[in-house]
Structure 1
Amino acid sequence: KNLISKVQLVVKEELAKKETPAHAIPLVYTDSDGHLQTDEAAVQSCFLGSDVSDYPVVLICVIGEKRRGKSFLLNYILRALSCQERGQPISLGAEDDPLCGFDWSAGTESITKGIWIWNKPFILERNGEKMAVFVLDTEGSLDIEGSRDTSIKLSALSMILSSYLIFNVNSSLKRTELDYLEMYLYVAELAGKSFDLQYLQHLDLLIRDWHDSLNCQREDGQSYINRETETMRKTSQYPFVLDTLRSPSVSCCLLPHPGKKLLGDSQGRISDMDDDFRNHLRNYITDLVRGIWRHVKTDIHGEKVTCAQLEAKLKEFVGLLQKEQYSFASPLEMFFTFENRKNMASVKREFLNRIDNLAPASSSLFKILGVTPNKMKSKTSEAAAHFLAVYEESIKGDASQDRELLMDEMKSILLESEEKFHDEYSKRFKKCAIGIGCAVGGGILSLAGGVAGAAVAGTVLAAEAVALMGSTTAALITGAVGGTVTLGAIGTGVGAGVGAGVGEAIANRKAETEQGTAEDGGDGSGADIQLLVAPEK
């Protein structure tokens, strides 16, 4: 027994060694040409795991200028969340533990490029309900020296992901931060509308290196916000920022300078922090983690978003970001792109519904034979032209080149859908024609007991078959009709069974027609013969 236990322990330890520890992985990154790329495998591995896909999701995201301590802050948030997950008191770790997690270091060179995500969510449970908490680090959303196009895309993506957004600012809100924050909030509102997600659920304005270490309480942060909003109100320069900072979903926190030891090669140890900074950092992170339950991601209707649902939204969003032709010079241009793509998908769905209703799967054999493939082609082409005009009317934006590209793409989508439908319908029509031909050739197709009805029906089907199947097959069906007229009573057992089934269907339909016609004052005679003899051309 002891030997078995030892073997099991060794195996367990070996498996633990092989298991990859949690780490940060790139969700969105900038390639050598400066274009944003998305790691779809990372998206799927994070949000579509069988153990988390149905959980409501919380996403803590930090934006701000580079080298301002964003990764440093998130690594301590990771420690606190780990304690919460294990059911232990919230702690920032041991005094002398080196800081690890997201890459960070003191200095001026940026490490993080794009958006990184901690690949293992923290599963928190409260009152029997579980949720998955992800932590994200960004770089470039407010990059003064970088591409404005990249900044807009990263800002929009941060909005799509985050339910708890931290805007990391050094010393005070300066014009640069206000300019970018104004743009970011505009992007957030527009992108939220396009993707049906609640935008900016919570914003923490985190002021780092605050000059007054003795006044860094919550009320001091609120006083600072009040002064800033009063200045903005007088200048009327930043309407989005002004409205947002007045919202109850926004809070301001002040952190003093961390101390000179952390600026050197300290490895981020708690023991290297100044006392004031350490205490305020601990209070800030403790409050954040304890209240994280209030910040589950929601849609515009207030419904909780699961990991799987977020993955679908994210996949749709990044699909647009990866298209090289989309370069956003402004948030409004980005919004137009999102809306035009969303409308394109909507028009496609409506078109497919329209043509599916022309020949539903439940359509009777006689209804299919009543509309030839050529006639159906005419109907679907008419529908495609209608929906192309509908889409053209819905296009937003004034760029003629973009409009032309969108129209070409919409036209291609409609044509592809139309051709697929027409191919399937032609096969259905051919199958129905062959089925009737076989029934006529093998047995007695009875309309009111008359063999003449079978001859007429077979003749019509043979004529249609010339266009569908060629003269050889048509001749066979025509020959089958002749066999029916002369030898109908001798049909094979199988053919007779099929013929009886068709005859029964016609009889049932005739009865229904007669009933409906009787109510209208007619006699209902010959309805099915007319349907078979005179299909639409």
Structure 2
Amino acid sequence: MASGDRPAAVQESTYTEYRTIRESRNKPKSKHRKSVHQARKSVSQEGAAHFHKLEEDITCSVCLQELSDPVSITCGHTFCRDCITLYWNTPGLLGYRCPECRKICPRDQFIPVYRLQNMVTKVQLAVKEVQSRQLLPSPLQLVYTDSVGRLQLDESVVQRCFLDSEMSEFPLCLICIMGEKRRGKSTLLNYILRALHCLERSQPVSLGQEDEPLTGFEWRRGTDGVTKGIWIWSKPFILERNGEKLAVYVLDTEGSLDIEGDRETCIKLSALSMLLSSYLIFNVNTNLKTTELDYMEMYLHVSELTGASFSLQYLQHLDLLVRDWQDSDHCGREAARAYLQHESEKLRLRRGSEYRRLLDTLRSPSVSGFLLPHPGKRFLRSTEGRLADMDCDFREQLTKYISDLMAGIWLHQKTDICGEKITCGHVGRALKEFVIMLQRTEYNFASPLEMFYSLENRRHMTTILKNFQDFLDQQLPANASPLKVLGVRTSEMRRRVTEQVTVLKDTYEGILTGSNAEEKKMLLDEIKSLLNEKQEYFCAEYSKRFTKCAVGIGCAVGGGVLCLAGGIAGAAVAGTVLAAEAVGLLGSTTAAMVGGAIGGSVTMGAIGTGVGAGVGGIIGHVEKKKEAESEHSPNTETSKEDIQPLVDEKN
């Protein structure tokens, strides 16, 4: 700012205000600006020059930050709306000057620059993507339970892992492990991470160096679990074969088999694990116990119902991994096959009816098993999880297990219920939809079936609301002509919409499933409220549109004939339509008089004569008379014959 434009005190005061703006806006954006410079380092020298120019184009010269609500002033320079407004709080001696070129500009002529705002948003998203790719991979909590036990989804993690523009269209494989806490799940996944690193680089599968400390998902010795909910490795492994790409995700679940937790959380987490995984590892200790069999039966039920709700393949591959197997001489896949057959026969003879799904599943080719021996006392005492601390037989079998998994990974791509491959973006959107449904209200699931009923009821509600919106769009298309609008009075339209609301309410009540009467009542009240809200809004908008069309047609008729008779005809058309409409809506003499006055005065006022007001008043009088007659006759419609005598009389 030139020193001659403002007193020093004003300059100092304004500069203090600038600093306030910059400090308040710098807090959330300081990291962002650092990331901009990091992104610039990651591109070529020529690319960095272009990026620097782009950064200048989207930077406000007042606050030196990315433009927020950008506006241009008359000289052509662009600033944040708040910044230029504050800058011009006190004018200079010659008026309001541009902070850049110093030209005098009018203060009240701001031009919003929407395209520039869109560009700022796109640049910010691009920088975030660059920044996320530069960060070291780490476990991120995808799903967690809050302080009151409700399931929560971190949508920023969903965006980063599944909806990122670079990978959203890739097919995917999701390796998920679930089971009791403190049974080595995270340790196993960390070695799987090492193997996937090798595959991604087209190298032979390896579990790492002898003395290399284990890193990745957090793990530690003891009885307390670390992961709560569902964790996901932040960077999928991108594999390539014959020109095709595959994104491989690794997830760790805890709480789905937590006997100390509540049953509802257990059901929700198991449903999410089933929804996400294409290769599910069920981690058990020593042997299959009754508790684990019960949970497996429930998981299979949940996966079947969840898959039906979201059109996803509900069980693609289940791998039963038995840890700390007592016979170290008989481990691996073949030994596991014999063990599972033996357990299936025992279940069939003892409790066949209780484990129907589990028995059917154990005989399915989509199920496999593996017996893994004890890792050894030295490994259990270790705090680093090194290969060198494992017993030889455990290390050998672990290597076989992970190598088998890596060899078949292309066979375990995520598919929909029809067997078609789906993408990362599809899974991300389904996950968000599923958690949103669970969050809409407090559920009290006593069984997986009740959860399925609740989800289905919510999905039916969404369908009903969509059907109602489609009905409304059919009644009043956006491109409907004025004559078509005037063809249906607002009273008639309200009757139609009300009838449809009643039909949809009854339909929804008839398709509600489940035995929870309280939940059904709550859902009925909710859909009634939503339908009524949509109905009232539509009817109000239709009434406005009807009035606008009536006035418009009246003006067109009056203006089309350059004579007094033409003006009278226009007033008559608009006045009669509006008067009859007001009677239909309000059912009162006052309504008829108001409608007639509006029809005449507005229409004729538009063409600069007072005749229309008189005609409108006569029309209102006619409607008043017809309203009085309606006490003896139900017909309150205004016909073309009602209009003609008025036109003839005035002519």
TM-score by length of 2: 0.69
Quote the residue 1:213 is aligned against: 328
* Letter paired with 1:215: H
Give 1:96's match in structure 2, choosing from 208, 211, 220.
211
**1:460 equivalenced with 2:585 (yes/no):** no
State the shift of 1:363 in Å.
2.9
Residue 475 (1) aligns with residue 593 (2): no
State the 1:45 CA deviation: 1.6
1:19 deviates by 3.9
Give 1:160's match in structure 2, choosing from 251, 275, 283: 275
1:381-396 map, 5 Å: 381-396=498-513
Residue 287 (structure 1) shift: 1.3
Could you tell me whether the CA contact under 8 Å between 2:551 and 2:599 is conserved in 1? Answer: no
Q: Which residue of 2 aligns with 1:504?
A: none
Which of these residues, 77, 84, 95, is aligned with residue 199 of structure 2?
84
Offset at 1:266?
3.9
State the secondary structure of the residue aligned to 1:353.
helix
Measured in 1, the distance between the counterparts of 2:465 and 2:146 equals 33
Question: In 2, are the aligned partners of 1:61 and 1:137 still within 8 Å (CA)?
Answer: yes
Matched, 1:252 2:369: yes
Give the partner amino acid of 1:172: N
Map of 1:233-252 to 2, 5 A cutoff?
A: 233-235=348-350, 236=352, 237-252=354-369
1:437-452 counterparts in 2 under 5 A?
437-444=554-561
Matched, 1:288 2:405: yes
Q: Note the C-alpha offset of 1:325.
A: 1.5
Aligned position for 2:624: none
How far apart are the structure 2 equivalents of 1:405 and 1:473? 45
- Which one of the candidate residues 519, 525, 549 is aligned to 1:432? 549
CA contact (8 A) 1:347 1:387 kept: yes
Distance in 2, Cα, partners of 1:428 & 1:218: 72
State the Cα deviation string for residues 132-191 of structure 1 (Å, max 9, x = none).
111100111111222111111110010111111000011110111001111111111111
Matched residues in 1 for 2:365 and 2:214: separation? Answer: 33
* Superposition map of 1:43-442 within 5 A: 43-235=158-350, 236=352, 237-442=354-559
Asked if the contact 2:264/2:444 (under 8 Å) is kept, the reply is yes
User: What per-residue deviation string (whole Å, max 9, x for no partner) do you get for residues 292-316 of structure 1?
Assistant: 1111111111121211111111111
Note the C-alpha offset of 1:18.
Answer: 11
Residue 45 of structure 1 aligns to a residue whose secondary structure is: helix
Measured after TM superposition, the shift of residue 331 of structure 1 is 0.7
The 1:341/1:11 distance shift into structure 2, 3 A limit, reads: closer
On the 8 A contact 2:558/2:569 being kept in 1, the answer is: no
Structure 1 residues 404, 532: CA separation in 2 closer, same or farther (over 3 Å shift)?
farther
C-alpha root-mean-square deviation of aligned residues, in Å?
Answer: 3.0
Using the alignment, how far apart are the partners of 2:455 and 2:288 within structure 1? 31
**CA separation in 2, counterparts of 1:196 and 1:476?**
60
- Rounded Cα–Cα distance in structure 2 between residues aligned with 1:325 and 1:261: 47
2:467 match: secondary structure: helix
Q: Secondary structure at the match of 1:67?
A: coil
| Distance in 2 separating the partners of 1:39 and 1:382 | 42
Contact 1:454-1:481 at 8 Å conserved across structures: no
The 3-state SS of whatever aligns with 2:327 is coil
Judging changes above 3 Å, is the alpha-carbon distance between structure 1 residues 112 and 17 closer, same or farther for their aligned structure 2 residues? closer
Query: How far does the alpha carbon of each residue in 1:254-279 deviate from its partner, in whole angstroms, 9 at most, with x for none?
Result: 11111111111341101111111111
d(CA) in 2 for partners of 1:42 and 1:291? 27
Cα contact 1:59–1:135 (8 A) shared by 2 = yes
- Summarize the Cα distance change of 1:358–1:406 in structure 2 as closer, same or farther, 3 Å threshold: same
Shift of the alpha carbon at 1:450?
9.3
Q: Is the 8 A contact 2:558 2:570 kept in 1?
A: no
8 Å Cα contact 1:442/1:484 also seen in 2: no
Report how many aligned residue pairs link the two structures: 482
- 428-437 or 100-109, which moves further after superposition? 428-437
Structure 2 spans left out of the alignment, 5+ residues:
1-37, 44-129, 583-590, 613-638, 645-651
Q: Sequence identity, in percent?
A: 55
Q: Matched residues in 2 for 1:174 and 1:413: separation?
A: 48
Match of 1:490 in 2: none
More RCO (CA 8 Å, sep 6+): 1
CA distance in 1, matches of 2:607, 2:280: 80
In structure 1, distance between residues paired with 2:607 and 2:131: 80
Offset, 1:452: 8.7
Letter of the 2:601 partner, please give it: L
Contact 1:63 1:70 in 2 (8 A): yes
Q: TM-score, normalised by structure 1?
A: 0.83
8 Å CA contact 1:62–1:166 kept in 2: the answer is yes
Residue equivalent to 2:122:
none
